[in-house]
């Protein structure tokens, strides 16, 4: 699985894991994120999968709705993966989510991942 940020730089596996962890924290129903296709197949949570591979976020805290900080590109990478997946999986979006999405992505990218976004 390869993720590339808008500058076409490879995103760290730790940033991807952190984004997925935050997605499950914010969108889980009964302990797991049902919209994620591999969760539907496996019938297990992202947390269980992250535990199995030994991922531990430590004390890392990412402000998903904050502005990009040039000094912390890792946070912007987490935001990129988090909101890209929220769009692709059709997760419910609140006003602050939409504001962050429209700041991060072009209209073309948004419509590619979620054609009904602007309806």
Per-residue pLDDT tens digits for 33-76: 777 777 667 777 888 888 999 999 988 889 899 876 655 667 88
| SS3 labels along the chain | CCCECCCCCECCHHHHHHHHHHHHHHHCECCECCCCHHHHHHCCCHHHHHHHHCCCCCCCCCCCCCCCCCCCHHHHHHHHHHHHHHHHCCCCCCHHHHHHHHHHCCHHHHHHHCCCCCC
Cα(54)–Cα(50) distance, integer angstroms: 6
Residue 88 corresponds to which tokens in the numbers above? 């692709």
The owner of tokens 């760290």 is 12
For residue 44, what pLDDT is reported? 78
Q: Where are the domains of the chain?
A: 13-113
Query: Taking all residues of the chain, what is their mean pLDDT, rounded to a whole number?
Result: 86
The answer to whether the pTM exceeds 0.75 is yes
Query: Which one is predicted more confidently, 117 or 5?
Result: 117
For residue 67, what pLDDT is reported? 73
């Amino acid at each position: 699985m390869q993720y590339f940020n808008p500058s076409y730089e490879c995103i760290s596996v730790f940033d991807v894991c952190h984004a997925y962890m935050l997605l499950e924290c914010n969108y889980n129903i009964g302990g797991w994120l049902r919209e994620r296709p591999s969760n539907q197949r496996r019938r297990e949570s992202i947390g269980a999968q992250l535990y199995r591979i030994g991922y531990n976020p430590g004390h890392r805290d990412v402000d998903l709705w904050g502005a990009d900080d040039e000094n912390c590109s890792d946070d912007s990478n987490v935001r990129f993966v988090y909101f890209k997946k929220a769009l692709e999986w059709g997760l419910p979006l609140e006003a602050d989510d939409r504001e962050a999405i429209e700041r991060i992505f072009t209209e073309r990218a948004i419509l590619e991942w979620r054609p009904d976004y602007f309806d």
